[in-house]
Structure 1
Amino acid sequence: MYSKSWLIFLNFVVGLFNFGFAGDPFVYYDWTVSYITASPLGVKQQVIAIDGHFPGPLLEATTNWNVVVNVKNDLDEPVLLTWNGIQHRKNSWQDGVLGTNCPIPAGWNWTYQFQVKDQIGSFSYFPSTNFQRAAGGYGGIIVNNRDVIAVPFGTPDGDISLVIGDWFVKSHKDLRKDIENGVNLGSPDGVLINGLGPYRYDSTIVPDGITYQVINVEPGKTYRFRVHNVGISTSLNFRIQNHNMLLVETEGSYTVQQNYTNMDIHVGQSFSFLVTMDQGGSNDYYIVASPRFENSTKASGVAILHYSNSQGPASGPLPDLPNESDSSFSMNQARSIRMNVSAGAARPNPQGSFKYGEITVTDVYVLQNRPPELINGKRRTTLNGISFFVPSTPLKLAQQFNVLGIFKLDFPNRPMNRPPVIDTSVINGTYKGFIEIILQNNDTTVQSYHLDGYAFFVVGMDYGVWTENSRSVYNKWDGVARSTTQVFPGSWTAILVYLDNAGLWNLRAQNLDSWYLGQEVYLNVVNPENNELPLPENAIYCGVLSSLQKDQAQRVRFSGAPSVPMVITRVLIALIITFVVTFMR
């Protein structure tokens, strides 16, 4: 028999072991953001790549895993990456937007570390500063289910990610100068699919020599297509010639499974479809992404779906777009997307177990946008007459160090009857409040809006001006929960958000021109128990807090390997266990 003291010692060793090794798994990425030369539309230009790849690599994890991404900035200007749709529970420090993070200076690296807590689904990432998304730097994100959670469809035979988006041959620096000087973006020069130009389906439109994407498939098999609109301003209609697309998921919610022949995917949105290869394979088929609501003569994005037994190239005209004169088609299609309330997602309980329609709303915000206008001689966009001014000190850092005068918690809950202003005004949210936000689009183009840190319920959209009576058409049962929603011109969209994620979160226009000119606001959600994750040890300081910044060489650089303290801890634990086992024989 072992003595009591030995048992106590063994318990201590086991405790050390658990401390060093237990917990959710980690996945590591080490990325370098740099310029490369590419010719997606046949014209050489500078694009932003990650590890030499354009688009960037797929980021993949599983529910509750910890994700560590070390980003080295080899651009000639500061950069931040934001994780579109990843909720960062209690951790807005990892959000990657200027309200919460100082940008990574040229030549520096910074490590993001966050947990994909209680999430599944299809998302994307992209650079959030300096109009850089117009040059690339983007890619897809997959958060897989844990094995113990049932998925509401059979395991696909393959998983295919497609990043689609409008593209301009002008550099992002020239585009942002145009925007600042009052020059509209106009129609894009083309549409890219996975960073490549269109297949030459029409020699009068598509020049020769352009490289295009080929997706290889096997007849009879079913594939999951994850499609992300990472463009800057253009809604795209996505379709696959002669194939139905069964919608199964969007931005972390399993949907009611419905077949579509095409889907309008607005800026910043992600969708998952199951597509069965049920054609004969006598030839290849077009995969198409076309601009919507644009009088553009430029080429659509066209990739090729290639069956292994294909006997010839794709042929004929591209599959038709929906009738552009039917203005209600896209809105009705959006309304048809509903949540599968009987399916579990990140947890085993049904998605409909959170009965949002029975919760009392605590705050209502009507956010009205307008087309760009001059404010103090500068071309700006607004929400409720306020164009957001980005201070040199991130709001979250100012809050952490009690720096006064950086922002104000006074954002109005209705449009103000006053001239527009430029200001740093923030919504003061109530922790665990239930907030209703109506996005009223007074612009002439479709706008997309995204809220970091949350999935919200899309409960209604319609033409005209929202009124209190508009609530009578709300979907109070199976409105889809997502992080990005479109608002059609002259229309409104209503969302409901349960404010259970403490932090400072960005609500923005996903259309890059609108966002760049000031169409954003932050939502401050403070938990009275102060249970947010602390300021990261590797935080970058800027603005009035620049004096706190250490030189890059003095900062801890994380990488795919465990940290030195962790290695030492593990070695000591191994030595202790070896000693104990040897001694007790």
Structure 2
Amino acid sequence: MAGCSVLSVLVIHICLLLGLSFAEDPFVNYEFVVSYITASPWCSSAGVLFDESGFCCFFVSAFVNQLFGVGFLEFRYVFSFGDCYKWKFPGPTLNVTTNNNVVVNVRNKLDEGLLIHWSGIQQRRSSWQDGLPGTNCPIPAKWNWTYQFQVKDQIGSFFYFPSLNFQRASGGFGSIIVNNRDIIPIPFDTPYGDITIVIGDWYTQNHTALRKTLNAGKDLGMPDGVLINGKGPYRYNDTLVPDGIDYETITVHPGKTYRLRVSNVGISTSLNFRIQNHNLLLAETEGSYTVQQNYTSLDIHVGQTYSFLVTMDQNASSDYYIVASARFVNETTWRRVTGVGILHYTNSKGKASGPLPDPPQDQFDKTYSMNQARSIRWNVTASGARPNPQGSFRYGSINVTEVYVLRNKPPVTIDGKRRTTLSGISFVNPSTPIRLADQYKVKGVYKLDFPTRPLTGPPRMETSIINGTYRGFMEVILQNNDTKVQTYHMSGYAFLCMDYGEWTENSRGTYNKWDGIARTTAQVYPGAWTAILISLDNVGVWNLRTENLDSWYLGQETYVRVINPEPNNKTEFPIPDNALFCGSLSRLQKPQHISFATSVMGSSKQNLLFGFILMLSSLFSIFG
């Protein structure tokens, strides 16, 4: 277990502002202040003091490194008309409902640019809000910018994170819940409670040090541990875990059923999630209800989110372990890299004790995890965000218009730099975002020449993207020729099949075209392939990437550009009034001013009131 070293952690201060509706779909407004604290999950931490008046919150975040005797205090004022929260690590959960208009004003208190990506949230008709460098300019240091998007016809469990400069390795992430509207039933009894859990590997070095390591052509090496909700492990073993570490405790009532939404927000480690003596009834993943099946444990790969129903049906003789342990690694070496929390019944009579529940015993069976993934099926009879069965459009009856085979390999050297590739191309993010270049007809920013099959020549570094056909139907084969699991993400696709070996045209005979799960993130095992189908019905520029942060940082991504040949506001919202400009369009950027969050989706009354709130918030923030 790593020592108690102090590092910068990305945290979010939040205020949930007034959510008003003027006849149309409701608005939910958040104020995020993204900044650093000096702390470590393996150190002791003091509490947080705040004014409970609900009008003006005075934050005092105190972190004490007992080993070195170092203290740190940070003071923050945040103004709010609504509920005001203390700082959060991980970030606060965005809890919204289908068709809500979500407005998030982000104040960048960092010393570098910032973008927040709403992973899995389908930005219908507006890639302008996607929070990725292909569509948005970074929010400059000490500036604020307002995101506004609608969770249109969508339900499920997702998460958000900072998408630039390896910042996710220092935090700044949090869960997203999109609830069903009241008129749309969920396919199970309403749980007693809803619990979000974020798990992930963690390094004691912050994101700036980690990206220096990658830039120097080195591997990151084994992480220092696994966090559960931003906290270190419970001391289940006196040798592996030091005393005094703050660990996560989840308190539950006996006999009740809870919905646990679990996201792997880490850097590159696949994790097995399990709760001692409890079954995990899988119910939903990334916006799709699943056929309900019990698992004693489930592999959750980087970037994936699962939703379980867990009934607290055990006796209360003791607490129970919550475990997230590394997969596909040398278990002896990685034994200390294990996240451990506590499930505490309200009538518990003692502490958890004994060995942790065993992980899957599949060291000599590489198909175990794949078969587990194949067992996850779409519940095609359940209603999703609308009152009709999800999946009723039947993928098998739709003609595929384009096919791309994307192959990744271990890192290579290109022009003296260590890089990762997709189909022989290492992606270079342009200084002018792709969508912005299209809007202002800037030439030479990117190339529409991404190959349909892997290149046979030497790898190259380029801004090469896929030219998608509007209303087309794309088949993508992800072939993993690396030695570790890679997880790939693109919003709104269906997973059809996976298998070991090389994909061929004959592999289509194994596809599940009836109830293959629709999700946003699918794993590809080493020496294996995964097939997905993507409906190109959403105009914009959409990122297709590995979620493994080190591989992503080094170039393993591309974008799919979907353009309506007859542009109109019905298929894509116009560029927002508060758009940022950078690169070759920097001359268009005006000096920072207080944002009034104007948007094509909001009414003028709503925007004016929210702007007034933000103006007051900005005035109070100067005391920070």
Task: Give the equivalent residue in structure 2 for 1:471.
Answer: 508
| Contact 1:31–1:51 (Cα < 8 Å) also in 2 | no
| 1:307 correspondence with 2:308 | no
Task: Please give the alpha-carbon distance, in whole angstroms, between the structure 2 residues aligned to 1:495 and 1:313.
Answer: 45
The one-letter code sitting in structure 1 at the alignment partner of 2:339 is G
2:212 match: secondary structure: helix
| Equivalent residues of 1:341, 1:351 under 8 A apart | yes
Partner of 1:582 in structure 2? none
1:282 pairs with 2:317: yes
Q: Which amino acid aligns with 2:476?
A: I
Whole-Å separation in 2 of the counterparts to 1:422 and 1:314: 52
User: Pick from 555, 572, 583: which aligns with 1:532?
Assistant: 572
What is the rounded CA distance, in whole Å, between the counterparts of 2:170 and 2:396 in structure 1? 41
- Asked whether the 8 Å contact 1:78–1:105 carries over to 2, the reply is yes
Mapping 1:171-182, distance limit 5 Å: 171-182=206-217
5 Å-filtered alignment, 1:162-241, equals 162-241=197-276
2:391 counterpart SS class = helix
CA distance in 1, matches of 2:476, 2:502: 14
Mapping 1:515-526, distance limit 5 Å? 515-526=552-563
User: Structure 2 matches for 1:63-212, cutoff 5 A?
Assistant: 63-212=98-247
Q: Who is 1:367 aligned against?
A: 406
**Alignment partner of 1:35 is 2:36:** yes
Q: Within 5 Å, which residues of 2 pair with 1:13-24?
A: 21-24=22-25
Q: 2: distance between equivalents of 1:350 and 1:566?
A: 34
SS in 2 for 1:71: strand
Query: What is the aligned partner in structure 2 of residue 335 from structure 1?
Result: 374
Instruction: State the shift of 1:469 in Å.
Output: 0.8
Report Cα offsets for 1:391-418 as digits up to 9, x if no partner.
Answer: 1111110010000000111110000111
Residue equivalent to 1:390: 429
Q: Which residue of 2 aligns with 1:4?
A: none
Equivalence for 1:378: 417
Q: CA RMSD in A?
A: 2.0
2:92 pairs with one of 39, 50, 57 = 57
Scaled by the length of structure 1, what TM-score is found? 0.91
1:274 positional shift = 0.3
Distance 1:563 1:550, change over 3 A: farther
TM-score (normalizing by structure 2): 0.85
Aligned to 2:534: 497
Tell me how far 1:150 sits from its aligned partner: 1.1
Distance between the aligned counterparts of 2:276 and 2:148, measured in 1? 41
Question: Alpha-carbon deviations, 1:60-83, whole Å to 9, x = none?
Answer: 110010000000000111110000
Within 2, Cα distance between the matches of 1:125 and 1:188? 22
Q: Is contact 2:495-2:522 (8 Å) kept?
A: yes
1:41–1:210 CA contact under 8 A, matched in 2:
yes
Question: Which residue is equivalent to 1:550?
Answer: 590
Distance in 2 between residues matched to 1:51 and 1:494, nearest whole Å? 43
C-alpha displacement of 1:22: 2.1
User: Whole-Å Cα distance in 2 between the matches of residues 566 and 309 of structure 1?
Assistant: 47
Asked if the contact 1:455–1:481 (Cα under 8 Å) also holds between the matched residues in 2, the reply is yes
Partners of 1:218 and 1:438 in 2: CA distance: 45
Structure 1 distance, partners of 2:86, 2:545, is 28
Q: 1:186 to 1:71 in 2, by over 3 A?
A: same
Give me the whole-angstrom Cα distance separating, in 2, the residues matched to 1:53 and 1:270.
20
- Give 3-state SS (helix, strand or coil) of 1:332's partner: helix
Counterpart-to-counterpart distance in 2, 1:389 and 1:282: 56
Q: Which residue of 2 aligns with 1:514?
A: 551
1:39 Cα offset (Å): 2.0
Deviation digits for residues 413-463 of structure 1, max 9, x if unmatched?
A: 000111000001110000111110000001000000001xx3211001000
- Structure in which a larger fraction of residues adopt helix: 1
Q: How many equivalent residue pairs? A: 546
Q: Does the Cα contact within 8 Å between 2:407 and 2:454 map onto a contact in 1?
A: yes
How far apart are 1:556 and its partner, in Å?
3.9
C-alpha distance in 2, partners of 1:457/1:185? Answer: 32
Whole-Å Cα distance in 1 between the matches of residues 404 and 609 of structure 2?
A: 51
State yes or no: 1:541 paired with 2:587.
Answer: no
Q: Secondary structure at the match of 2:409?
A: strand
The separation in 2 between residues aligned to 1:51 and 1:483, in whole angstroms, is: 31
How far has the Cα of 1:528 moved from its partner?
Answer: 2.5
- In structure 1, how many angstroms separate the alpha carbons of the residues matched to 2:576 and 2:385? 27
Distance 1:26 1:567 in 2: 10
Structure 1 pair 182–297 and aligned structure 2 pair: CA distance change class (3 A): farther
Change (3 A) 1:258 1:486: same
After TM superposition, give the deviation of residue 568 of structure 1 in Å. 7.3
Structure 1 or 2, whichever has the larger Rg, is: 1
| TM-fit CA distance, 1:289 | 0.3
Distance 2:113 2:609 in 1: 36
SS at match of 2:410: strand
Is there any run of 5+ residues in structure 1 with no aligned partner, and where? 1-19, 571-585
Classify 1:23/1:465 alpha carbon distance in 2 versus 1 (closer, same or farther; 3 Å). same
Please state whether the residue corresponding to 1:195 is helix, strand or coil: coil
After superposition, give the CA deviation of every residue in 1:135-172 in whole Å (9 maximum; x if it has no partner). 00000000000000111000000000000000000111
**Partner Cα distance (1:218, 1:35) in 2:** 35
> Which residue type is aligned with residue 22 of structure 2?
F
CA drift at 1:557: 5.5
Question: How far, CA to CA, are the matches of 2:309 and 2:603 in structure 1?
Answer: 41
Partner Cα distance (1:270, 1:566) in 2: 33
Report the Cα distance in structure 2 between the residues aligned to 1:97 and 1:111, rounded to whole angstroms. Answer: 14
Aligned counterparts of 2:336 and 2:480: Cα–Cα separation in 1: 27
Q: 1:88 to 1:186 in 2, by over 3 A?
A: same
What's the offset of the Cα at 1:337? 0.4
Deviation at 1:224, TM superposition (A): 0.3
User: Structure 2: where are the runs of 5+ without partners?
Assistant: 1-20, 45-64, 77-84, 611-624
- Residues 192, 257 of structure 2: 8 Å contact kept: yes
Contact 2:40 2:204 in 1 (8 A): no
Identity %: 66
Q: CA deviation at 1:558?
A: 7.1
Are 1:444 and 2:483 an aligned pair? Answer: yes
Supply the distance in 2 between the matched residues of 1:424 and 1:300 (Cα, whole angstroms): 38
Distance of 1:569 and 1:535 partners within structure 2: 22
CA distance in 1, matches of 2:288, 2:110: 35
- Residues 92 and 175 in structure 2, CA contact (< 8 A), matched pair in contact too: yes
- After TM superposition, the structure 1 = structure 2 runs for residues 397-476 of structure 1, keeping only pairs within 5 Å, are 397-451=436-490, 454-476=491-513
Structure 2: distance between partners of 1:86 and 1:553: 28
Tell me the secondary structure at the aligned position of residue 351 of structure 1: coil
For residues 308-323 of structure 1, what are the structure 2 equivalents within 5 Å? Answer: 308-323=346-361
